């Protein structure tokens, strides 16, 4: 019998708030399973080791950290589009195929959702390896829930273009789509460009379009503001340049 591919959610603090108790954001059951795993596929081996040290402080690891096997996911080629030529990920499933449970983890949040890993999950299904997702934080769903916008129909569209003209065109496109379908549009940005994206949104969106921004989710200083663009313009709020944010709009 093969092992399982276990999708292990990471914290959303990128290790900068390690003093926060792990079980404040991860269920104890998920921590216990993470502690039992001796083989991992990771977005980043260094951050995975830091995560496992936090796990060990709650539930002792089944193996010493230096004996745990951590293999990094191949990084996609720069400019590669989803669905393009794929790297063969089947060899990464070797531990599961020999009967061991294999963990999959990203740097933050749920692997394979707005993070790398979906291709490995697909490879597991093709190989007949059972997939077990564990409960834990997902910034997208937390932001959507906190927004008060339409949670019955929504889409995550990733990053918007960096170029000003292209970004403005994409914002107008998403607003028109939201207006036509009633669908909430979610997107993210590299933290140091949070302010630039917010400025572009306020300059481009219609006054009555609703805009929600969630900052530092699950951190002690987290906040969400959901308001009309008109009210955002009248009372702007600065965004940090070193903390992740999730943006949602509903026209």
What pLDDT sits at residue 84? 44
What pLDDT sits at residue 175? 98
Which residue segments constitute the domains of the chain, with CATH numbers given? 4-133 (3.40.1010.10), 139-250 (3.30.950.10)
- 5, 73 Cβ separation under 8 angstroms: no
Return the number of other C-beta atoms located less than 10 Å from residue 63's C-beta.
15
SS3 letters for 192-220?
HHHHHHHHHHHHHCCCCCEEEEEECCCCC
What is the reported pTM?
0.88
d(CA 178, CA 113): 22
113: left (phi over 0), alpha (psi -120 to 50) or beta: beta
Pairing of strands 245-250, 210-215: antiparallel
What pLDDT sits at residue 21? 83
pLDDT beneath 70, residues of the chain = 15-19, 76-86
What pLDDT sits at residue 106? 94
Grouping H, G, I as helix, E, B as strand and the rest as coil, residue 10 is strand
pLDDT in tens, 25-73: 999 999 999 999 999 999 999 999 999 999 999 999 999 999 999 999 9
What pLDDT sits at residue 220? 85
- Rounded to the nearest 10°, the torsion over CA 14, 18, 20, 24 is 60
Mean pLDDT value across the chain = 92
What pLDDT sits at residue 64? 96
What pLDDT sits at residue 116? 86
């Amino acid at each position: 019998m093969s092992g399982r591919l276990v999708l292990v959610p990471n914290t959303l603090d990128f290790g900068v708030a390690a003093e926060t108790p792990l079980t404040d954001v991860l269920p104890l059951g998920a921590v216990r399973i993470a502690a039992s795993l001796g083989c991992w596929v990771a977005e980043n081996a260094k951050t995975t080791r830091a995560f496992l040290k936090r796990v060990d402080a709650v539930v002792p690891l089944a193996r010493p950290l230096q004996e745990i096997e951590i293999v990094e996911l191949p990084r996609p080629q720069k400019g590669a589009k989803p669905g393009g030529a794929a790297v063969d990920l089947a060899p990464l499933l070797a531990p599961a195929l020999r009967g061991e449970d294999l963990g999959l983890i990203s740097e933050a949040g749920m692997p394979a959702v707005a993070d790398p890993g979906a291709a490995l999950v697909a490879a597991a299904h093709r190989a007949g390896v059972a997939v077990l997702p564990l409960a834990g934080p997902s910034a997208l769903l937390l932001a959507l829930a906190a927004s008060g916008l339409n949670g019955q129909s929504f889409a995550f569209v990733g990053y918007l273009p960096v170029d000003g003209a292209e970004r403005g065109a994409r914002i107008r496109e998403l607003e028109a789509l939201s207006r036509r379908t009633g669908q909430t549009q979610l997107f993210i940005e590299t933290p140091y460009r949070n302010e630039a994206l917010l400025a572009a949104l306020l300059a481009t969106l219609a006054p009555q379009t609703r805009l929600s921004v969630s900052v530092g989710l699950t951190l002690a200083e987290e906040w969400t503001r959901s308001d009309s663009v008109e009210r955002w313009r009248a009372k702007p709020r600065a965004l940090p340049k070193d903390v992740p944010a999730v943006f949602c709009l509903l026209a």
